[in-house]
Amino acid sequence: MISESALAQSPFPNARDDSYPLLGLKRAKSSYDRAQSELSRKEELYKKKLISPEEYETAVNSFEDAEVNYQQSLLVLLFEQQFVSIKRAVKSQDENSKKRIRVTLENTSSANAEFAQIVNMEDELFRSLQPDVIHNIYVSLSNDDGAIISSPYEIKLEELRSGAPETVEFEMLQDLDEVTVNIIYGNGSSRNPKVFLEKDASANRVLIQSERFSQEIELGNNATFGLGLELFSGLNDTYKLEVLNLPSSVTRYFSEQGASGRISQIKFTESKNNISANLDIALPDRPTDDVPMDEPISFYVVALPVNQLAEVNPRLNENWTEAEIEALNAGYVRLEMIPRGVGRLVIKAPQLYNEADSEGAVEFTFRVVNEGSRRLDNIEFELDAPFEWEKRIEPAIISELDIREEQTVRLFLTPPADVSVGRYETRMRSTSLSDSQPVNAEDKTFTVQIAAQANVLGTTLILFLIIGLVGGLVFFGIKLSRK
């Protein structure tokens, strides 16, 4: 039978200990202290051979049960008190223009005053459980849709000690200003706070990005380069946008996306660290010495702090190397344009209508003009003439036509001998090539009106008959009047 002392040492289970772990720890600590005291007393009695080995063994078992129960209660409360906080989340850009995030985690676990009173913080058992250490912390970043946007996808910290923050660094797979930090730690506790990313002010510059950084642009046309401006500075908030190495024959200006008017300076605020702007350029109509066709032209957009303008303004029209631009310690982006030309075939005909009889050819004259920005090659004309009409074009083919050049062409249409009176139309199609690409002109329709051929003999006989008839009427009229 179990002695009354053993029964007194055994802890009474309470169903509410799981709901109230602090009360459970109190109960377990009290049972542990009693079991330890009882074991010490029984050990002295056993040494004096005042109790049997069975009684001493019972005391040892009771102490071990109380110790295990106390450890379990400690672990439950320690895990409940564990907490991982996000101290900082800083966004930066590396030398390869890749966005990175540094997340600093801190162990902010702390027992309350009552917990400290229950447990001796210097207790060997308590210290063996490492209450100031959180083990197995897993960290990842995700967007609003829950997709992980960090590389690596997940980082594991073996432990996080109180008072010793740890920093993990990710590469961003999606450029965002707000991310969800997923943290799993301890015995499965988790947090998913959404944080607004700080900007790395140590860079002290505006980072510029452009998705369409290289464009092919036809001469005489306009183009727009979209610019994403992001402030990474704690010193300056006002910057001036400048273009370097762009040929002087190319006009340029900056504008803010979604707003009208031109801009030259931008100002960031605490609530607005991102600005979307456009660089609009217009190319000349023809190739020039500094804007040759089909050759890439590189230039730069620079965001300069206003206090640095005096240094740069005298050299704006110079040709800068990328090393010189990098030495400015300012944000910049390299852009590229490739001027392209395209021929434009235009037919200018002063007369599209002509009258003729059934004999001889009808002539039309028109001019072929290249109003584009590239030479035209192999200009040909295709005629849809009426049935049995003869057609001829001089010249039949124009081998080449330079920019703004024009050439006169003559068109001859000859009707058949038995052509009927009426209106006849001939459609002309014009085709050519420009940089091996087909270029067509607007179709032209030439109209010929065939009039009836005059009969001179018949007209003369009719005239004499009329004169004879009139004369006869006059003669007989005079005779009748004399009678």
Alpha-carbon separation of residue 57 from 42, 70, 162, 432 (angstroms) = 9, 20, 41, 110
| CATH superfamily ID and name for 203-340 | ntegrin, alpha v. Chain A, domain 3 (2.60.40.1510)
How does pLDDT run across 188-210, given as a tens digit for each residue? 788 899 998 888 766 678 889 89
Q: Read off the pLDDT of each residue in 369-398 and give the average, rounded to a whole number.
A: 93
Listed by start position, the domains of the chain span: 4-81, 85-199, 203-340, 345-450, 458-483
For residue 81, what pLDDT is reported?
A: 61
Nearest to 435 by CA among 216, 282, 249, 124: 216
pLDDT higher than threshold 70 for residue 111: no
For 293, which DSSP code?
A: T
Task: Select from 22, 31, 23 the least CA-distant residue to 66.
Answer: 31
Which tens digit of pLDDT belongs to each residue from 202-234? Answer: 667 888 989 889 999 988 899 999 999 988 876
pLDDT at site 114: 47
Sheet holding 262-263, edge to edge: 205-209, 222-232, 274-282, 251-256, 262-263
Cα-Cα-Cα-Cα dihedral sign, residues 272, 273, 274, 275: positive
The dihedral over CA atoms of 354, 359, 363, 364, expressed in degrees to the nearest 10, equals 30
Would you state the pLDDT for residue 9? 44
Backbone angles phi and psi of 389, in degrees to 5: -80, 145
Q: How confident is the model at residue 18 (pLDDT cuts 50, 70, 90)?
A: low
Residue 113 clears pLDDT 50, i.e. is over it: no
Q: What pLDDT is stored for residue 75 in this prediction?
A: 65
Q: Given this chain, do its domains 85-199 and 203-340 carry the same CATH topology?
A: yes
The residue with greater pLDDT, 79 or 304, is 304
Task: Assign domain 85-199 to a CATH class.
Answer: mainly beta
- Region 247-255 average pLDDT: 93
CB atoms within 10 A of CB 388: 11
Determine the pLDDT at residue 252.
Answer: 93
- Tens digits of per-residue pLDDT, 386-410? 998 999 999 999 999 998 899 999 9
> Cα(103)–Cα(100) distance, rounded to whole angstroms?
10
Which CATH architecture fits 345-450?
A: Sandwich (2.60)
Q: Residue 365's pLDDT band (boundaries 50, 70, 90)?
A: very high
Confidence of residue 472 (pLDDT cuts 50, 70, 90): confident
